[in-house]
């Protein structure tokens, strides 16, 4: 998998100030897309394959981090931007949080040979499905930034993105309910689990749930663009 952009950052700025942000989001989304196969390998206890997926996530996160750092360094102060410069920097930081969370999940699963408790499997699948849906929505919103720029962040494109933002918020609310149920299920299963494993499962569940929180942060940042 090619994890680095072949387009110089200066060239991206010439076409649109949003191009580096979109390039960064695509890498971030690629990280998240490796979560289902990562957890599938965990279900099957295929730890060598799990390590391969984790390594790919770590590489993608590093590539995304490089774009973020270059963006911060090279975003010109004199560039006439359609949005506030600080808001644009905060947006790419919000996106980067998605990659960071995914990398942290991958690293924990590499450091420890975890086993998925049977009572958690159905809810973990539900949580992962919801996480992927909200991540797709966040990426789709970022991909629409150019269209928004063309219409001056007004009109029908603004309405479409506003609807998408509302959808992300609803999805995040639904994931909160799943998080409550899975944590409750884990609590009820504690007596049958190794205490240290239990502690790590609480941490892993929180990290997966935090991806949806971070996706909502991205949506809120776009809402800020639309409201100015």
- What does 45-106 look like in DSSP terms, one character per residue? T-HHHHHHHHHHHHHHHHHHHHHHHHHHHHS-TTS--SS-HHHHHHHHHHHHHHHHHHHHHH
In tens digits, what is the pLDDT along the chain, a chain of 228 residues?
444 444 444 444 455 678 889 999 999 999 999 999 999 999 999 999 999 999 999 999 999 999 999 988 877 665 555 667 788 889 999 999 999 999 999 999 999 999 999 999 999 999 999 999 999 999 998 988 777 666 555 666 667 777 788 888 888 899 999 999 999 999 999 999 999 999 999 999 999 999 999 999 998 888 777 666
Is the residue at 148 inside a domain?
yes
**Residue 2: inside a domain:** no
User: Of 54, 3, 2, 55, which is closest to residue 24 (Cα–Cα)?
Assistant: 3
Q: Does some domain include residue 38?
A: yes
Q: Is residue 138 part of a domain?
A: yes
State which residues form the domain around 167: 9-227
Residue 111: inside a domain: yes
Q: What is the pTM of this model?
A: 0.86
Query: What is the rounded CA–CA span in Å between residue 182 and residue 190?
Result: 12
CATH of residue 32's domain is 1.20.58.220
The number of distinct structural domains making up the chain is 1
């Amino acid at each position: 998998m090619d994890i680095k952009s072949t387009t110089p950052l200066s060239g991206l700025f010439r076409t649109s100030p949003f191009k580096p942000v979109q390039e960064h989001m695509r890498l971030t989304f690629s990280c998240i897309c490796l979560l289902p196969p990562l957890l599938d390998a965990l279900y099957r206890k295929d730890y060598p394959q799990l390590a391969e997926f984790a390594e790919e996530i770590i590489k993608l996160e590093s590539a995304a981090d490089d774009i973020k750092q270059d963006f911060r360094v090279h975003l010109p102060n004199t560039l006439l931007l359609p949005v506030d410069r600080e808001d644009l920097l905060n947006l790419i930081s919000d996106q980067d949080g998605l990659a960071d969370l995914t990398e942290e999940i991958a690293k924990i699963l590499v450091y420890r040979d975890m086993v998925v408790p049977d009572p958690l499997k159905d809810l973990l699948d539900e949580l992962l499905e919801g996480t992927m849906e909200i991540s797709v929505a966040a990426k789709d919103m970022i991909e629409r930034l150019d269209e928004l720029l063309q219409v001056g962040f007004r009109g029908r494109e603004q309405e479409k993105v506003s609807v998408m933002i509302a959808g992300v918020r609803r999805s995040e609310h639904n994931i909160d309910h799943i998080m409550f149920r899975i944590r409750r299920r884990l609590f009820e299963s504690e007596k049958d689990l190794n205490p240290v494993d239990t502690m790590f499962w609480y941490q892993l569940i929180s990290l997966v749930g935090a991806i949806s929180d971070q996706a909502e942060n991205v949506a809120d940042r776009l809402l800020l663009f639309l409201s100015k």
